[in-house]
Chains A and B, each alone.
Chain A
Amino acid sequence: EAGVVQSPRYKIIEKKQPVAFWCNPISGHNTLYWYRQNLGQGPELLIRYENEEAVDDSQLPKDRFSAERLKGVDSTLKIQPAELGDSAVYLCASSFGQAREELFFGEGSRLTVL
């Protein structure tokens, strides 16, 4: 069974440029998460989806970040415009939801903003 797939693995951009990350969760997982992980720290939740609905986006900086999950499967996280402080690893995870509570993570997308 394929795991959570994320792309790109690495992205280097200059500040004020846009960037987008893509995530394909494990088949059948209806819950999808985007976390941000700064160097040497634990992941921090940006947004959680239950199917197509964003049920927890209180920590998503909505002035520059946006996310969508079309048809309740793949998801895209966008930053526009990027700032120096956005340099981090963006992790996507999925789970079955309430039935099975462990999260399955992708390898992450490492963003460097110059």
Chain B
Amino acid sequence: GAGVSQSPRYKVAKRGQDVALRCDPISGHVSLFWYQQALGQGPEFLTYFQNEAQLDKSGLPSDRFFAERPEGSVSTLKIQRTQQEDSAVYLCASSSTVSSPSTDTQYFGPGTRLTVL
């Protein structure tokens, strides 16, 4: 079946522009995660949704970052007034269950590469 999809795959923004990144999780998946991956580093957690509820946003680096999942399926990560340090790959992952360390497998999308000039 279809995996996690993300769009756009590549985004170039001028500093100060707002961007919106979309994630389509696997159908029926309850949990959705956003991660940020800088060049040469491992992904870093940004935020977590269980259905439409944003249960953890501790990783969002500033109030310029905002995420939503209004109907419990598609999610959008919005970055306002982009800065050069926002350049990274933004990964979305979903899992079929409420997040659990013993049973949860996260399925990742291919990511959106954001370049801020």
Is A bound to B?
no
